[in-house]
Amino acid sequence: MHFGYSERCLEHDTGERHPENPDRLRAIRRGLAKRHGVEYVEADPATREEVVAVHDAEYVDELEAFVADGGGSWDPDTVASDGTWDAALASAGLSQWAARSALDGADGRDTPFALGRPPGHHAVPDDAMGFCFFNNAAVAAQTVLDDGAADRVAIFDWDVHHGNGTQDVFYERGDVFYASIHEEGLYPDTGALDETGRDEGEGTTVNLPLSAGAGDADYLYAIDEAVAPALERFDPDLVIVSAGFDAHRHDPISRMRVSSEGYALMTDQIRSVTDDIGAATAYVLEGGYGLDTLADGVSMVHETFDERTPVGNDDDPDEKTESLVAELRELLEL
């Protein structure tokens, strides 16, 4: 894969013992150093105008002033330092690079993966939250729509948390689809099954809040039976994968049980959907807080695009997953 990476993303300093820290990127790079076919690309940071296309100008000004003042705790979870403004613009810029280069034809071994931080999917139009300042995936989606490089963009979010920010940005939009599989009841406790979009966006939001303990078989089933058919029906030009790795069974902040191989299987599954519908694909890093499991997860996505065949999973999904998926299919008439 081609990995978007910027040293500026290390300058967002959340202090000691914060789970979202620069060691995450260092661990990913250490993991990738052992793999074949890894290329790094540095991209331009996003501009203020591009960020304001999805965030309120007032919030963006407030954040810039907060950071210029040295930063501190924006809220109990979300900490800024004097490097946060540049890191956040760099992180959004890497996502834009990923989306643009995918639409320019980068695929297969050249598939782009933006390794930015701070992450983005909790950032709502008028606020930072949940370690996120600018909604990187949303900025990228809006940028390629504004560029005219795409007419329809889908974002599939497999981070263990619901991407409330991404959902909020596009909830009433018919040109951007958002699907999330997340752990029910976890932060920020949004993403109920019946949140399916509004007005022009009716039916373009898909939420699968799986019960704690769900593993590979549940995720694969949910993608196969719900996310894939919804994506096929939406027929996007680009699929952005909001790729967090905190549903891993050894991640410290969730109770999900996805294995490292599970990330390879999900990657393979999404690739077969995008191949079928002829959509470009870009990956954007979200969460993932176990350093080894985060590095393994990213490496698994990379290796899957480097022609490693994932080891299949024959387990059955939990009955709770089956009934949730059946309810969603009925709701969305899939």
The reply on whether position 246 binds Zn ion by CB under 5 A is yes
Whether a cis peptide bond, with omega within 30° of 0, leads into 118 is: yes
* Cβ-proximal residue to Zn ion, closest one: 287
Nearest distance from C-beta of residue 70 to Zn ion, angstroms: 27
Q: Is 36 a catalytic residue?
A: no
Distance CA 331, CA 226 (A): 11
Nearest Cα residue to 155 out of 239, 273, 276: 239
Nearer to Zn ion, 184 or 246 (CB): 246
| x-or-dash string of contact with Zn ion, 286-315, rule CB under 5 A | -x----------------------------
Nearest Cα residue to 283 out of 146, 116, 168: 116
Give residues 262-291 in contact with Zn ion (rule: CB under 5 A).
Answer: 287
Q: Are 260 and 311 in contact (CB under 8 A)?
A: no
288 vs 2, 94, 231, 294, CA distance in Å? 20, 18, 25, 5
Part of the chain binding Zn ion (CB under 5 A), chosen from 82-90, 145-153, 241-249, 293-301? 241-249
Distance CA 95, CA 132 (A): 14
Nearer to Zn ion, 118 or 203 (CB): 118
Nearest distance from C-beta of residue 248 to Zn ion, angstroms: 11
Handedness of CA 176, 177, 182, 185 (dihedral sign): positive
Nearer to Zn ion, 4 or 191 (CB): 191
Nearer to Zn ion, 165 or 287 (CB): 287
Residues paired with residue 238 on neighbouring β-strands, in sequence order: 153, 280
Helix (H, G, I), strand (E, B) or coil at 247: coil
The reply on whether position 317 binds Zn ion by CB under 5 A is no
Nearest distance from C-beta of residue 287 to Zn ion, angstroms: 3
Distance CA 86, CA 46 (A): 10
The reply on whether position 209 binds Zn ion by CB under 5 A is no
Nearest distance from C-beta of residue 244 to Zn ion, angstroms: 4
Nearest distance from C-beta of residue 257 to Zn ion, angstroms: 15
Nearer to Zn ion, 127 or 246 (CB): 246
Applying CB under 5 A, what is the total number of residues that bind Zn ion?
A: 5
In the list 209, 244, 290, 297, the residue contacting Zn ion (rule: CB under 5 A) is 244
SS3 for 126-174, per residue? CECECCECCCHHHHHHHHHHHHCCCCCEEEEECCCCCCHHHHHHHCCCC
Close Cβ partners of 314 (under 8 Å, ≥ 6 residues apart): none
Of 122, 161, 162, 302, which residue is the catalytic one? 122
Give residues 135-174 in contact with Zn ion (rule: CB under 5 A).
Answer: 159, 161
Catalytic sites, residue numbers: 122
Which residues are near Zn ion by CB under 5 A? 159, 161, 244, 246, 287
